[in-house]
Amino acid sequence: MPTCTVTLEEALGRVTAEDVLAPDDVPNFYRSTVDGYAVVAADTQGASESIPTFLTVVEEVAMGRPARETVCSGSCAYVPTGGMLPQGADAMVMVEYTENFHGDEVAVYQSVAQGAGVVVPGEEVRKGAVLIPKGTALNPAHVGALAAAGIWEITVYRPWRVAILSTGDELVHPAQPAGPAQVRDVNTWALAALTRACGLQIVLRRTLPDREELLEQALTQAKEQADLVLTSGGSSQGKADYTCRLMDRVCDRGVMTHGLSVKPGKPTILAFDGASQTLMIGLPGHPVAALMIYQALGVWLWKRLTGQREQKPRLAEMALNIPGAPGKTTFVWVKLQTDENGRQTAIPVLGKSGLMGTLVDADGYLVLDRNKEGLRKGEPVEIYRLGI
Amino acid sequence: MPTCTVTLEEALGRVTAEDVLAPDDVPNFYRSTVDGYAVVAADTQGASESIPTFLTVVEEVAMGRPARETVCSGSCAYVPTGGMLPQGADAMVMVEYTENFHGDEVAVYQSVAQGAGVVVPGEEVRKGAVLIPKGTALNPAHVGALAAAGIWEITVYRPWRVAILSTGDELVHPAQPAGPAQVRDVNTWALAALTRACGLQIVLRRTLPDREELLEQALTQAKEQADLVLTSGGSSQGKADYTCRLMDRVCDRGVMTHGLSVKPGKPTILAFDGASQTLMIGLPGHPVAALMIYQALGVWLWKRLTGQREQKPRLAEMALNIPGAPGKTTFVWVKLQTDENGRQTAIPVLGKSGLMGTLVDADGYLVLDRNKEGLRKGEPVEIYRLGI
């Protein structure tokens, strides 16, 4: 898997291609977490509201500046939140528990333990520790942790370049009127949106009529430009056959699979070209099936090859009985709803022929094992979402 | 809330600013879902493997082309998957259940019901129906449904323009070495990443030393350019005070709130400028608190004003007892883990002073009510994720 370097400015959603180690201790100094006085903790033993300890203020430490003086028994220094403790000090007393006399003497009304109000060097990040493991898709907290450690550039996997080829004499662009027998090209735009949602890059996007030589040209061009080529077309047998034949011709390793025991998605084709390291997926023509197979194979493989951990599914209970398809792994779209007992339930989103409109309300999908006859009401299920 | 128009190419993650209605029926013709013959269903009554019905083929319909002939009792037409049924036909027989003789006669070995293998006009999307309601953050399935309905441009809320101002004499850029008492600017980059993750736009990003006149200039500039201004700075009392004073001076409606009964996030400031319709949030200096308050106030308000539905939380059980902070709403970061009984449990991610490094492993956060003394092991909790 090829890698590239990005700065924290573009790091969101990228996947780390190596363990990111902390180059230094963070913080690299004794840092106060409160506004107050840096003291020798032992000096405050027994101090209380009625019996304060009196200390001499030797310094007022400024933010971002090293402390200059040393604190020893009987003395202290003012340090703001985030400021550096002077040498010798081992605890902070919050300003609320002190009273300042004539600027250079302070009464301390609280006893503090060693380390109170102090972050010690390396407490946030220890030098050499794995800050972010390889295979992490970076979120805002990760970006913050990298910034804290002083890591500005990181090595991430270069997102796959994806080509999307949709074929069909019946297809018209969504912006164009559809005449009788014509339908709008759905797959190009739904697959493009899922590609973007996964942080992958679209390099080629074509809608083609059903002419073999045009698809062959497009596959040949896509092979050179893309890491992943998605085709989708009518699910009629004739079309699936020639897509398969062309992929077999264009890819040096040929077609690996034609037909999967999944529902929906049976007519799926997988082919690989070794020279260009390009994977081709011939998706079913039905938009819902095409999205599902892209998710189950394309997105899954991207996550797998970049070492990303699996999605943590949502747990729910089936709201009603549903049948399985014996011998076929079945993908079922569901809507999540909390029932009157506070339990999360999964309601299947059913629709004839997997029409796109039915997916609008879905919260995710579940995978029904090929060996299960179905799912019973109340049975626990795991719900995954579209995307990474 | 101002709106703008985008095409399906840039629609992912945008929020619809009005109900999207279907302009036409989809499909707008009787569409086959199989490869086979369009028939009059009544003709196939009683047909079986042993007693076929014989029909005359009057047409072979091409994909994307209207059917020309009419099918009546005794006749049929070949239609590919996705093709248009001729007038008169009311069902499809799959090609697998037929046998073709001399091209113009076909034996049908199966009885089909009216409507079998056919999508009727308006079945996918009904003209005038609400396809996508107002306030929907568009996902790939929504994009597909819009394409299917022939909707290329949609009206969405213009993402908030966000200004991020981080202040502190101690701050250095993550790419720069940190001397003694200096720390890297974490908030700018973590807040920017969360801004991007929510689909909002960054228009200004500044790291400033602790000088009042510089912050005042920056606030004034930010007010003109941004819908939302995020400042963050040290949590020391002196700084919070002058940020509050400056926001009050720069905003015509002044400061609304200084100090929230939340943990973390107590020193939060809220101010509003009516003339420019700009909201300012003075975030705490601690990065974890700053992220949390941006999520709880800024992101929440954006979702609220754009009418987006609340995140569906993950449900889990507390893995151990945790104390609350009486009188304060407490945000607790947790890691999710499935226990040996298959139950999802929430393990608090604890870290002294909310260090950024501790968030790296968190899967989300829970909100502990101000009136609760704490949470007991096994108690059900709702887990939210950072972002929209």
Q: Please state, in angstroms and as integers, the Cα–Cα distance from residue B79 to each residue in A83, A150, A265, following that order.
A: 78, 64, 21
- Please indicate whether, in this complex, the C-beta atoms of A312 and B177 are within 8 angstroms of each other: no
Is A275 near chain B, with CB under 8 Å? no
| Spatial separation of the C-alpha atoms in residues B143 and B151, rounded to whole Å | 9
Structure tokens at A150: 């002083």
Cβ of B123 within 8 Å of Cβ of A11? The answer is: no
Minimum-distance CB partner of B181 among A24, A64, A336: A64
State the DSSP code for A84: B
Query: Are the beta carbons of B182 and A235 separated by less than 8 Å?
Result: no
Q: Which helix (H) or strand (E) holds B115?
A: none
Q: What is the pLDDT of residue B235?
A: 62
| Phi, then psi, of A357 in degrees rounded to 5 | -55, -30
The pLDDT, as a whole number, for residue A351 is 64
Write down the pLDDT at residue B234: 61
Whether residue A230 has pLDDT greater than 90: yes
pLDDT value of residue B125: 87
* B387 torsion bin: left (phi>0), alpha (psi -120 to 50), beta (else): left
Report the DSSP pairing between strands B183-184 and B171-172. parallel
- CB-based contact, B352 to chain A, within 8 Å: yes
Please, which residues 131-160 of chain B have a Cβ atom closer than 8 Å to chain A? 131-132, 138-153
Cis peptide before B264 (omega within 30 of 0): yes
B189 at interface of A, judged by CB pairs closer than 8 A: yes
* pLDDT score, position B352: 58
- Disruptive mutation site among A81, A130, A167, A295 for chain B (greatest number of B CBs within 10 Å): A81
The reply to whether B201 touches chain A by the CB within 8 Å rule is no
Other C-beta atoms within 10 Å of B69: how many?
Answer: 16
A359 touches chain B (CB under 8 A): yes
| Residue of A16, A84, A118, A143 to mutate when probing chain B, most B C-beta within 10 A | A143
Is any Cβ of chain B less than 8 angstroms from the Cβ of A272?
no
Per-residue pLDDT, A14: 97
Which chain A residues in 88-117 lie under 8 Å from chain B, judged by CB atoms?
95
- Closest in B186, B191, B314 to A314, CB measured: B314
Give the per-residue pLDDT at B341. 87
Torsional class of B110: left (φ above 0), alpha (ψ -120 to 50), beta (otherwise): beta
Query: Using CB atoms within 10 A of its CB, is residue B191 exposed (0-12), middle (13-18) or buried (19+)?
Result: buried
Q: What confidence score (pLDDT) does residue B102 get?
A: 79
Give residues with Cβ within 8 angstroms of A15, minimum separation 6. Answer: A135, A136, A137, A138, A156, A157, A199, A306, A307, A308
**Residues A57-73, mean pLDDT to the nearest whole number:** 96
Measure the CA–CA gap between A303 and A328, rounded to whole angstroms. Answer: 24
Q: Return d(Cα A296, Cα A304) in angstroms, integer.
A: 11
- Cβ atoms of B355 and A119 within 8 Å: the answer is yes
Q: Which residue has the tokens 């780390």?
A: A16
Interface touch A145/B356, C-beta < 8 Å: yes
C-alpha B34/C-alpha B20 separation (Å) is: 31
A182 in B contact zone (CB under 8 Å): yes
Contacts of A182 in chain B (CB under 8 A): 64
A178 Cα to chain B: minimum distance (Å): 8
State the sign of the Cα–Cα–Cα–Cα dihedral B106, B110, B112, B117: negative
Return all residues near B123 (Cβ < 8 A) that are at least 6 apart: A352, A355, B27
Residues of A in contact with B346 (CB under 8 A): none
Residue in this structure with the two tokens 């629609």, named with its chain if needed: B11
CA-to-CA distance for A166 and B149, rounded, in angstroms? 17
Helices A187-197/B140-148 angle, 10° precision: 160
Do A237 and B95 lie within an 8 Å CB cutoff? yes
Question: What's the mean pLDDT in A287-291?
Answer: 93
- List pLDDT tens digits, range B250-271: 999 999 999 999 999 988 999 9
Q: Containing H/E element for B291?
A: helix B287-293
Residue of A nearest to B316 (CA): A315
What distances in angstroms separate CA A305 from CA A229, A297, A298, B204, one per listed residue?
Answer: 17, 12, 11, 37
The pLDDT, as a whole number, for residue B2 is 95
The shortest CB-CB distance from A189 to any of B63, B144, B184 is to B144
CA A221, A225, A228 angle in degrees (round to 5)? 100
The complex's ipTM works out to 0.93
Cβ neighbourhood burial of A254 (10 Å; 0-12, 13-18, 19+): middle
Interval A8-24: pLDDT, tens: 999 999 999 999 999 99
Segments of chain B with pLDDT less than 50:
none
Q: Using a CB-CB distance cutoff of 8 angstroms, which residues of chain A are in contact with residue B25?
A: none
Q: What is the pTM of this model?
A: 0.93
User: Which residues 310-339 of B are in CB contact (within 8 Å) with A?
Assistant: 312, 314-315, 336
CB-based contact, A175 to chain B, within 8 Å: yes
pLDDT tens across A233-261, in order? 866 667 777 899 999 999 999 999 999 99
Q: Residue B185 corresponds to which amino acid?
A: D
- Shortest distance, CA A252 to any CA of chain B (angstroms): 31
Chain A residues within 8 A of B87 when measuring between CB atoms: none
Please, which residues 63-92 of chain A have a Cβ atom closer than 8 Å to chain B? 63-67, 80-84
Query: Taking CB atoms and an 8 Å limit, are B8 and A132 in contact across chains?
Result: no
pLDDT in tens, A337-384: 988 988 899 999 976 555 677 788 899 999 999 999 999 999 999 999
CA distance A276 to A258: 21
User: Which member of B84, B145, B237 has the closest CB to residue A181?
Assistant: B84
Directed axis angle between helix B212-225 and helix B237-250, to 10°?
A: 40
CB-based contact A61:A84 (threshold 8 Å): yes
